[in-house]
C-alpha cells in the first residue's frame, strides 16, 4: 500500500511560490494575503496560525482583519470593500462557516474574483464549471488533484467516486476529475449505505469529503482502490482523523492519503501559490500549478 503523503507535493508548490515571490519583490511587489476572521473559533485560529507560518516561509506577507462574532453583514461587507480596493492586498481568505446571523452568500460574493484565492465566490466556481476560469479553483479540491498528479495516478478512463457534494470540495473535485476524462459518480449524505458501498467497491478512485469519521471502511473497497481522504474530523477520543478508517483499510487498498499529513498541507501551499499568482497578474486569467 502506497502512502500518498502531502509534504513532497507541498514542498514542490512552496518552492515554486518562493521563486515567484522573490521575482515579485525584485519589482517592489510584496505578495500579500488578507485573512478575514470573524469570531474566535479555535479551528479557524489554528489554521490561521499555520497559514501565517507557511506564508512567511515562501515570501508571502499576511494582513489580518479580525472582527467580532457580533458583527453585522454590512460591517463585514465594509471590510471586504476595503480589502478589495487595497492594491497591496492580492488575495483574500475568509474563514467559513460564518456566524449564523450573517448572510454568507452575499458576503462571499462581494469578494473580488481576482483576489478570491480560495475560490469561494459564485464567479470563481462558475468559471471552474464552464471551463472559463476567471478566478482560482477551490484550494482543497485542487490539492486532491495535485496529489494524484504528483504520484502518477492516472484518471483518464478510470471510474471515480466523490463522497460529498459541497461547492467547496465535492462538486469542484468531481468537475476536475471529469476534465481529466474520469467517469465520476457523486455520493452524499442521502445516498443509501448499501449503494455507497457498491459504488465505492466498483470505483478505481475514492475521494472522500464527507466530514465524518469512518465514512470509508474495509467494506467499501475491493482491494485495488486509491483513496484521497479530504476529511478533517476528530474521533471520540479527540484525535484528528480523516473520513477513511485508516487502520481498517491498511493493506486493503493500493494507495491512500494519511490524515493528517495528506491533503491539508497541500491545500495551504496552493493558497500561497494563488496569492503569488494574483500578485503577479491582476488582469490575466490565473494559472493553476497543474497547467
State the Cα–Cα distance between residues 255 and 228, nearest whole angstrom: 8
Q: Which pLDDT value is given to residue 127?
A: 83
| pLDDT exceeds 80 at position 165 | yes
Instruction: Record the pTM.
Output: 0.90
pLDDT at 285: 39
Q: How far is CA 84 from CA 34, 99, 131, in A?
A: 10, 22, 25
**List of domains in the chain:** 27-118 (3.40.50.10860), 139-263 (3.40.50.720)
Q: How many CB atoms lie within 10 A of CB 24?
A: 18
Average pLDDT over residues 107-119: 95
Task: Give me the chain's average pLDDT, please.
Answer: 93
Note the pLDDT of residue 168: 83
Give Dmax (Cα) for the chain.
58
Secondary structure letter of residue 220 according to DSSP: G
Residue 112's pLDDT band (boundaries 50, 70, 90)?
very high
For residue 282, the model assigns a pLDDT of: 59
From residue 252, alpha-carbon distances to 147, 225, 247, 285 in Å are 20, 8, 10, 42
Cα separation, 221 vs 253, in Å, equals 7
Q: Residue range 198-205: average pLDDT?
A: 98
Reference 244, options 280, 205, 273; nearest CA is 205
Which of these, 45, 291, 29, lies nearest to 179 by C-alpha position? 291
Q: Check residue 145 and give its pLDDT.
A: 97
What is residue 234's predicted lDDT score, i.e. its pLDDT?
83
Highest mean pLDDT among 36-45, 47-56, 125-134, 152-161: 152-161
Looking at residue 130, what is its pLDDT? 80
Residue 283's pLDDT is: 39
Amino acid at each position: 500500500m502506497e502512502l500518498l503523503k502531502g509534504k513532497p507535493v507541498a514542498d514542490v508548490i512552496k518552492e515554486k511560490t518562493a521563486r515567484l515571490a522573490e521575482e515579485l519583490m525584485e519589482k517592489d511587489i510584496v505578495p500579500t494575503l488578507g485573512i478575514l476572521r470573524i469570531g474566535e473559533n479555535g479551528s479557524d485560529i489554528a489554521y490561521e496560525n499555520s497559514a501565517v507560518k507557511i506564508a512567511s516561509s515562501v515570501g508571502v506577507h499576511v494582513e489580518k482583519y479580525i472582527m467580532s462574532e457580533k458583527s453585522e453583514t454590512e460591517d463585514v461587507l465594509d471590510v471586504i470593500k476595503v480589502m478589495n480596493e487595497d492594491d497591496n492586498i492580492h488575495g483574500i481568505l475568509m474563514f467559513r462557516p460564518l456566524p449564523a446571523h450573517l448572510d454568507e452568500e452575499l458576503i462571499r460574493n462581494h469578494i473580488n474574483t481576482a483576489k478570491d484565492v480560495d475560490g469561494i465566490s459564485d464567479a470563481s466556481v462558475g468559471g471552474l464549471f464552464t471551463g472559463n476560469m476567471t478566478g482560482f479553483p477551490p484550494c482543497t479540491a485542487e490539492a486532491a488533484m495535485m496529489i494524484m498528479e504528483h504520484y502518477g495516478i492516472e484518471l483518464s478512463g478510470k471510474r471515480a467516486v466523490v463522497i460529498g457534494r459541497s461547492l467547496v470540495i465535492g462538486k469542484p473535485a468531481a468537475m476536475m476529475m471529469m476534465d481529466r476524462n474520469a467517469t465520476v459518480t457523486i455520493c452524499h449524505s442521502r445516498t443509501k449505505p448499501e449503494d455507497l458501498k457498491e459504488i465505492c467497491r466498483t470505483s478505481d478512485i475514492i475521494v472522500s469529503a464527507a466530514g465524518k469519521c469512518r465514512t470509508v471502511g474495509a467494506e467499501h473497497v475491493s482491494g485495488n482502490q486509491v483513496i484521497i481522504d479530504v476529511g478533517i474530523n476528530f474521533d471520540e477520543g479527540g484525535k484528528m482523523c480523516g473520513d477513511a478508517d485508516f487502520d481498517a483499510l491498511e493493506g486493503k487498498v493500493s494507495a491512500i492519503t494519511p490524515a493528517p499529513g495528506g491533503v491539508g498541507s497541500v491545500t495551504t501551499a496552493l493558497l500561497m501559490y494563488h496569492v503569488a499568482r494574483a500578485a503577479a497578474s491582476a488582469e490575466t486569467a490565473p494559472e493553476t500549478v497543474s497547467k
